[in-house]
Amino acid sequence: MTASQADAPPRSRAKRLRFDRYLLDLERGCLLLDGNEIVLRPKTFAVLHFLVENCARLISKDEIFAAVWPDLTVTDDALVQSVGELRRALGDDGPRLIKTVPRRGYRFEADVSAAASVDPPHVEAASVSPVPPDLAPPAAPVPAVRRGSIFIGAGRARARIGGFAALALIVLLGVGLAGSGIWIGRNSSNAPGHADRLTPQSAELGAEPTIAVLPFLNQSDDPGREYFVDGLTQDIISALGRFSRLTVMSWNSVLPYNGKPASPGQIARDLAVRYQVEGTVRRVGERVRVSAQLVDAEGRVLWSARFDEAMEDVFTLQDKITTQVVGALAIRVTQAEQRRAIAKPTGSPTGSLEAYDYVLRARPALQRPTRANNVEARALLRHAVQLDPNYAAAYAALAETYHIAVSMGWAESPAQTLGRAEEMANKAASIDASDVRAHIMLGRVHLFHQRYAQAKAEMDRAIAINPNDADGLAGRGNALLWMGQTDAAIEELEAAQRIDPEMNSIDRFALSLAYYSKRRYGAAIEQAELNLRGTADANFSRDVLAAAYAQNNRPEDASRIVAMIHRMDPAFDPAEFGSKFLNPADLEHLRDGFRKAGLFGEQAGLPRP
């Protein structure tokens, strides 16, 4: 939906706006209350920004659509969802500050004033000359860069490593992939785009390197480009994850450090990682400048590099960075992994930078889906495939939007919607057989249809390409759970949780149910409660929680949960729940817990038939 903004007043040039008890920091792209950030998704932040800059007047829906969703067709649900999220984020102040004018629009009821802008110190990225740790002064961290084991900010998960992916890759691989020494040596050139060579340094032996690629910091003038920087970080994470000798933390693991300074030691302890990659991205006109560094848990800078390239073609840029980075490092990986990481797939991932941009813009919605932003993501991805009908990653992401709609109960016709998910995933796989998301989506569709062997086979293919993909590991765990291979299921699901502690509600439910099946009731309760704290409408976890409480001799807690189930999910059928189990003993054990909890109604407390 689009509309003219002719009647809207000019937007304020102030970079920090204060209203009521809140501070809207446009430079950092965040909302603060008493110095603490209130997390908002990008579109919700954009809605708030527009409301604040147009306070004390009636703002029509068309104006908001034109400002926040330009050149896109979205339904009113997208706006209603964003306004609802804003009100919830503002707590008791929400209804007072944001007034709905029925059938006309919204009014922001607060006095808004410009706050003094605090400019963070600007630091130009530069190569760091490696010196022995005992002679090195304390390293000055890149300001406000999130730290981690090796956290990488990236875009597409593809078979070849793009330049930005290679950037993190070399950082990571330079630390000694086999758990051996770190090579640090100096490159003769200090020009942008040249990395410092690595010369031998002592490194911890034994365990495989564990890395966190922290979200790269957006230093562009436009805070709306945050999605682009995050996308690049995600692509680097995906590229590094393809090396079996590394354990690479997921994007969800490093996201909490986005814009929140933390010491390398703290991040190392929090994430149990040995190395961290951090960096910055600045887009100025048609050029992009990237600086990055690799640090250890003590904060020592082990490698650094900077790149300043034209932005005419992001994939050409990635190739340049890949070549320079890989050439600067001694990469200790298997020959097969090295060929897979550097080689290009048949044809380019996409010939359209605009299509790539649409995919990056859709990603945040897929990572934290709501009904409205799932629809928004689908619209963005349709634009991507219209621009490039042979863009595998876009089709795989489209498949994910359909799968999410079915998983969350938003699809009016689940069978038809799931069919669309399968169609899009097959299309992606036919274009690029190495697209990890395509195989995972096909595996998830097979799980819905209880085709467990086929589901496991697709997840196996995904994990063969990227052994660190938490979704692939969890998907395989789901298949093994329903097949009755519970010990193996727990192993896979725990591995997924290690890489991605913020695993989605479906996979955490599977882990809880797997613990229950092994009579580890305390662990089952812990996971189910954690799931419900993060996703209040995860009713399936409430069902397992009732059974686990009953089996764990906590009848009062079980009764409390059963009352909630009757109130929140009156259609729940204990005889149907768990019927996907292929092992009759697993199903009977679950029903036994339901009986003890009282979910079978009149049968509660009666002997088992």
Which segments of 450-538 does DSSP mark as H helices, in order?
452-465, 470-483, 486-499, 505-517, 521-534
Under the banding of pLDDT at 50, 70 and 90, the label for residue 367 is confident
Q: What pLDDT does residue 605 have?
A: 40
7: Cβ contacts below 8 Å, ≥ 6 apart: 63
What single string gives the DSSP state of each residue in 275-329? Answer: EEEEEEEEEETTEEEEEEEEEETT--EEEEEEEEEE-S-HHHHHHHHHHHHHHHS
Please give the share of the chain, as a percent, with pLDDT higher than 90. Answer: 32
Render pLDDT for 307-321 as a digit per residue (tens, 0 to 9). Answer: 777 666 555 555 444
From the options 1.10.150.120, 3.40.50.360, 1.25.40.10, 3.40.50.720, give the CATH code of 492-609: 1.25.40.10
- pLDDT for position 303: 65
Predicted pLDDT of residue 86: 86
Is the pLDDT assigned to residue 163 strictly greater than 50?
A: no
Could you give the 3-state DSSP secondary structure of residue 25? strand
* Nearest of 144, 138, 106, 180 to residue 30 by alpha carbon: 144
- Answer whether residue 165 shows pLDDT above 80: no
Residue of higher predicted confidence among 120 and 536 = 536
CATH topology for 16-114 is Arc Repressor Mutant, subunit A (1.10.10)
Tell me the average pLDDT across 446-463.
94
pLDDT bucket at 117, cuts 50 / 70 / 90: low
CA 81/CA 87 separation, integer angstroms = 10
The per-residue pLDDT for 132 is 32
pLDDT tens column, 371-426: 888 999 999 999 999 999 999 999 999 999 999 999 877 888 889 999 999 999 99
Per-residue pLDDT tens digits for 66-112: 888 776 666 666 787 778 778 888 888 888 899 888 778 899 999 99
pLDDT digits (tens, 9 = 90+) for 196-239: 323 223 233 334 567 788 888 888 777 777 888 887 778 777 76
pLDDT score at 337: 45
**pLDDT higher than threshold 50 for residue 347:** no
Residue labelled with tokens 């104006």:
63
**DSSP letter string over 227-256?**
HHHHHHHHHHHHHHTT-TT-EE--HHHHGG
Lowest-confidence segment of 354-358, 435-439, 541-545 by average pLDDT: 354-358
Output DSSP code: residue 151.
B
Q: Residue 71: its pLDDT value, please?
A: 63
Q: How confident is the prediction for the chain on average, in pLDDT?
A: 74
Global pTM reads 0.60
CATH topology of domain 163-342: Rossmann fold (3.40.50)
Confidence label for 569 from pLDDT (cuts 50, 70 and 90): confident
Looking at residues 276-287, what average pLDDT do you find?
Answer: 80
Ordered alpha helix ranges (H), 76-225: 76-89, 94-97, 163-173
Ramachandran category for residue 47: left, alpha or beta (phi over 0 → left; psi -120 to 50 → alpha): alpha
The domain locations on the chain are 16-114, 163-342, 492-609
Average pLDDT over residues 361-368: 84
pLDDT at residue 570, rounded to an integer:
85
Separate counts of helices (H) and strands (E) for the chain: 23, 16
The pLDDT-based confidence of 161 (bands split at 50, 70, 90) is: very low
Give pLDDT, residue 314: 58
How does pLDDT run across 227-269, given as a tens digit for each residue?
888 877 787 777 666 666 667 788 888 888 887 778 888 888 8
Overall size of the chain counted in residues:
609
- Mean pLDDT in residue range 291-298: 77
Residue 210: strand, helix, or coil: strand
| Tokens encoding 495 | 């591995």
What does the alpha-carbon distance between residue 547 and residue 549 come to, in Å, rounded to a whole number?
6
Cα dihedral across residues 366, 402, 581, 480: positive or negative: negative
Higher pLDDT among residues 174 and 256, named by residue: 256
Neighbours of 145 (CB within 10 A): 26
Q: What is the pLDDT of residue 7?
A: 40
Query: pLDDT (tens digit, 9 = 90+) per residue, 433-454?
Result: 989 999 999 999 999 999 999 9
The mean per-residue pLDDT over the stretch 470-476 comes to: 94
- The mean pLDDT value for 112-117 works out to 79
Of 177 and 295, the structure prediction assigns the larger pLDDT to 295
Work out the average pLDDT over 282-300: 78
Give the mean model confidence (pLDDT) for residues 506-510: 93
